Amino acid sequence: MYSQLCRAGRGQRDGGGGGGGRAAVRPGTGLEAWVASGGDGELELAIDGRLRRFPAVWLRDNCPCAQCLDPGSGQKLHDITDIPEDLTVAAAQDAGESVVVTYAPDGHRSVFSRSWLARHAPAEGSDHRTEDGDPRTEDGKDLWLAADLTPRAPSGPGRRPEGSWPRYLAEPAERARCLDAVLRQGFVLLHDVPAKNGMVLEVAASFGYVRETNYGRLFDVRVEPSPDNLAYTSREILPHTDNPYRDPVPTIQLLHCLRTADDGGDTGLVDGFCAAAALRAADAEAFDLLTQNPVSFGYQDKGAELCASQPLIELSPRGRVRGVRFNNRSALPLRLPYAELARFYPAYRRWAELLARPERRLNLRLGPGDCLVFDNTRILHARTAFSMSQNSAGRHLQGCYADLDGLASTLTVLRRTTGAEREARP
């Protein structure tokens, strides 16, 4: 059934040549494969005319046979130490849409589909150095300035990510579009969420799980007589992220408007990833200072005392932006050596100025029934001061926290059923 396509030879990594040779190219497929016996003897495969190499241990670690991968759970049944240390590819056979790999010394066999190998082929060279597959970094996002999300003509369609709660509930494709916006633009504004107590928890439950904290499952944002938090006053609050004193920080925040203020209390959103990219381009030294020095944040009331230390701009190990934290209200005294403090503060100020620029701030006025869902590791939120009149009940939002992983999972499962593909990137 399998036709022998390949024979043993030395891989290119070993200098090529001696003893090795190529199997015939299969006409019409643009695909050829052969085995390297030198060193750790890998599989070599031409995909779309380009040579791709697959280390033996990588292939074996991904073997899809029922001995290696549990058919029920799809989980691997082996640990990395179960793989023979001196593993090589002894033979590779063409089997139509598959390639059958036989390993030495133990004779184990793996059957890989050609399409799977093509999709997962290790890159050659170092061009993939920054592609780390991490969905949380700037690379998977659509960065924006306020104008990017504002209709250019008064009557034109806005690109502001928004949706209607009844449609969101009724139509899986609409739900997928709204959730995708949280991952790509960092937020979505849902309208027509009934302005009822506790509805914010229903919105969270529609895509994930509430992250309960010392503020409760939900918290009321309104003026309190003896506030433990400046959020519970009528003061202006500049762009910030929530709960930087928590670790892990809640990665999603929801704010649902039950009542507006008579005047003021408007919401502003800033794309922290877009701002971080701008800082990196404009002032690499400031960017480095903010990514390399942790800042401690704290919160304290009768029942809680929280403290966490993380840089204001968090990078992936590959140096890509994967989180921002910004909240001077709860920043604790910086503990840096004197010389670094003197360098840090100008960088911190520059970052704050950049975040405060009007062109970065998307202004919204939440009305009763509006619910914002946003990525708290990326989007800073702000509000203008508002007035308190004696005759009205006053501004009242309800908020809660949730996490991005649950939202992303819900979106992926929705796409399985709706068949909706992620919109092609420009």
Residues in 33-72 at the binding interface with its own copies, rule: CB under 8 A: 40, 52-53, 55, 57-58, 61-62, 70, 72
- Considering the complex, what minimum distance in angstroms separates the CB of residue 367 from its own copies? 28
Q: Give the residue, chosen from 329, 365, 367, 389, that forms a contact with its own copies under the rule CB under 8 A.
A: 329
Name which of 127 and 359 has its Cβ closer to its own copies: 127
Q: Are 262 and 392 in contact (CB under 8 A)?
A: yes
* Encoded amino acid at 201, one letter: L
Q: Which of residues 398-417 bind its own copies (CB under 8 A)?
A: 403-406, 408-409, 412-413, 416
Identify which range of 18-26, 100-108, 253-261, 337-345 contacts its own copies by CB under 8 A: 337-345
- Considering the complex, what minimum distance in angstroms separates the CB of residue 91 from its own copies? 20
Distance CA 186, CA 145 (A): 12
Identify which range of 167-175, 348-356, 361-369, 383-391 contacts its own copies by CB under 8 A: 348-356
Name which of 253 and 330 has its Cβ closer to its own copies: 330
Identify which range of 14-22, 153-161, 263-271, 342-350 contacts its own copies by CB under 8 A: 342-350
- Tell me the per-residue interface mask from 176 to 195 with its own copies, x by CB under 8 A, - otherwise: --------------------
Name which of 30 and 122 has its Cβ closer to its own copies: 122
Q: Are 263 and 279 in contact (CB under 8 A)?
A: no
Q: Counting Cβ atoms within 10 Å, is residue 151 exposed (0-12), middle (13-18) or buried (19+)?
A: exposed
- Tell me the per-residue interface mask from 286 to 315 with its own copies, x by CB under 8 A, - otherwise: -----xxxx-x---xx-xxxxxxxxx--xx
Q: Which of residues 152-171 bind its own copies (CB under 8 A)?
A: none
Name which of 62 and 102 has its Cβ closer to its own copies: 62
- Tell me the per-residue interface mask from 120 to 149 with its own copies, x by CB under 8 A, - otherwise: x-xxxxxxxx-xxxxxx-------------
Name which of 149 and 380 has its Cβ closer to its own copies: 380
Name which of 246 and 396 has its Cβ closer to its own copies: 246
Q: Which of residues 195-224 bind its own copies (CB under 8 A)?
A: 209-214
Coil, helix or strand at residue 332: coil
Residue 349 found at the interface with its own copies (CB under 8 A): yes
Residue 228 found at the interface with its own copies (CB under 8 A): yes
Q: Which of residues 350-409 bind its own copies (CB under 8 A)?
A: 352-353, 356, 403-406, 408-409
For helices 338-355 and 272-282, the axis angle rounded to 10 degrees is: 120
- Considering the complex, what minimum distance in angstroms separates the CB of residue 150 from its own copies? 25
Q: Which of residues 245-274 bind its own copies (CB under 8 A)?
A: 245-249, 251
Q: Are 276 and 143 in contact (CB under 8 A)?
A: no
Q: Residue 293, Cα to own-chain centre: how many angstroms? A: 22
What sign has the CA pseudo-torsion 371, 377, 380, 382? positive
Name which of 158 and 230 has its Cβ closer to its own copies: 230
Query: From its phi and psi, is residue 355 left (phi > 0), alpha (psi between -120 and 50) or beta?
Result: alpha
Distance CA 411, CA 420 (A): 10
Size of the site for its own copies (CB under 8 A): 105
Beta bridge partner(s), residue 364: 267
* Encoded amino acid at 263, one letter: D
Q: Own/partner pairs for 136-139, CB < 8 Å, 24+ apart?
A: 136/316, 136/322, 136/323, 136/377, 136/404, 137/316, 137/318, 137/320, 137/321, 137/322, 138/273, 138/276, 138/277, 138/320, 138/321, 138/322, 139/320
Beta bridge partner(s), residue 308: 297
- Among 149, 134, 148, 217, smallest CA distance to 405 is for 134
Name which of 195 and 356 has its Cβ closer to its own copies: 356
- Considering the complex, what minimum distance in angstroms separates the CB of residue 256 from its own copies? 20
Q: Are 248 and 404 in contact (CB under 8 A)?
A: no
Residue 285 found at the interface with its own copies (CB under 8 A): no
- Considering the complex, what minimum distance in angstroms separates the CB of residue 148 from its own copies? 24
Residue 418 found at the interface with its own copies (CB under 8 A): no
Residue 356 in tokens: 């405060």
Torsion of CA 371, 368, 396, 355, to 10 degrees: 50
Q: Where in 222-368 does DSSP place strands (E)?
A: 237-240, 252-259, 267-271, 294-300, 305-311, 313-315, 321-324, 361-364
* Encoded amino acid at 198, one letter: G
Q: Give the residue, chosen from 50, 196, 318, 365, that forms a contact with its own copies under the rule CB under 8 A.
A: 318
Residue 348 found at the interface with its own copies (CB under 8 A): yes
Q: Which of residues 72-101 bind its own copies (CB under 8 A)?
A: 72-81, 83, 85
Q: Give the residue, chosen from 102, 113, 316, 384, that forms a contact with its own copies under the rule CB under 8 A.
A: 316
